[in-house]
């Protein structure tokens, strides 16, 4: 039986990749939406949409992700990252059978650990963005515990605005750039996460066993922003730019970032029997796509 999958935030990086993945699988009726087709802050509209289209799965990729700007636009950040989640929950309840997969962030942690965060580690977000995403998580788990939350980190793809595309642009324009070396984590190639979400939903559809709860997903390996940038430079084969390491203190930003935010992926690998690519392998794929290499 064909299942109907709704994706919110479909014009974002992950949303674009999910669209590519799901439209290749006829066993799903795929409905991509964004702010122009579905306003998640309008509860009545969301409930009507989910009931009208008989949605079975809601993948919520919509989020306010401007981390520094969120320190000023606090109300808007919470409206999208917390209140809209409540509207999705109520729409799923009104539909009666819709399951929710919600995308969250490593920024719910404070970054004081020195080993990869597991799902049960204490959260302590340090920014408005992180706090709003945690409240979105709590809203979902409190009101609809039969849901899945996927925390991810350092997302990039060929779409939208991200670190990889920014570095590729800067190394062409400048002879020298500075990148922070004291923030440690793991990049996530959006197509890898999109394919994992397809695996999750296919697994749930076949087994009818919905593994609710929180899961962590990023590519394998651990790296600093500085070493990530150096690898981008190397793979781009650009020769006329140097990347210099600086500390976070030398790069003033409004929102505080976690110094260490690598994620432990054992839980999701075991639950769904998936293999996660190393970040360097996936980065090479992305740069090949962006630079039109075969």
Per-residue pLDDT, 237:
86
CA distance 2 to 30: 10
57 tagged catalytic: no
What integer pLDDT is reported at residue 61 of this predicted model? 98
Amino acid 209: pLDDT: 73
Query: Which residue, chain included where needed, has tokens 């962590």?
Result: 216
* Whole-number pLDDT of residue 294: 44
| Residue numbers in the chain where pLDDT is lower than 70 | 293-294
The whole-angstrom separation of Cα 149 and Cα 267 is 12
Q: What 3-state DSSP class applies to 291? A: coil
Q: What pLDDT score does 293 carry?
A: 58
What's the confidence (pLDDT) of residue 204? 84
Question: Strand pairing partners for 207?
Answer: none
Q: Which of 64, 78, 107, 129 is catalytic?
A: 129
Packing angle of the helix pair 279-290, 225-236 (nearest 10 deg): 50
């Amino acid at each position: 039986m064909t299942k109907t999958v709704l994706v919110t935030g479909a014009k974002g990086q992950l949303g674009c990749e999910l669209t590519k993945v799901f439209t290749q699988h006829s066993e799903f009726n795929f409905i991509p939406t964004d702010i122009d087709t579905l306003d998640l802050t309008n509860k009545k509209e969301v409930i009507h949409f989910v009931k009208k289209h008989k949605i079975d799965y809601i993948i919520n990729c919509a989020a306010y992700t401007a981390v520094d700007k969120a320190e000023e636009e606090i109300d808007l950040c919470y409206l999208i990252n917390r209140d809209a989640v409540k509207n999705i929950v109520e729409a799923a309840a009104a539909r009666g059978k819709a399951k929710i997969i919600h995308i969250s962030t490593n920024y719910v942690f404070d970054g004081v650990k020195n080993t990869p965060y597991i799902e049960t580690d204490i959260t302590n977000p340090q920014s408005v963005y992180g706090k709003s995403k945690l409240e979105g998580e709590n809203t979902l788990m409190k009101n609809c515990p039969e849901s899945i939350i996927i925390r991810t980190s350092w997302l990039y793809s060929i779409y939208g605005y991200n670190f990889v595309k920014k570095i590729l642009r800067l190394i062409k324009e400048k002879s020298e750039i500075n990148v922070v070396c004291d923030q440690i984590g793991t990049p996530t190639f959006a197509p890898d996460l999109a394919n994992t979400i397809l695996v999750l939903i296919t697994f749930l559809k076949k087994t009818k066993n919905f593994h609710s709860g929180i899961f962590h997903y990023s590519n394998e390996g651990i790296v600093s922003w500085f070493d990530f940038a150096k690898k981008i430079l190397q793979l781009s084969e650009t020769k006329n730019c140097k990347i210099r390491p600086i500390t976070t203190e030398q790069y003033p930003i409004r929102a505080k970032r976690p110094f260490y935010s690598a994620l432990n992926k054992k839980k999701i690998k075991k639950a769904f029997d998936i293999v996660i690519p190393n970040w360097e392998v996936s980065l090479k794929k992305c740069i090949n796509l962006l630079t039109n290499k075969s």
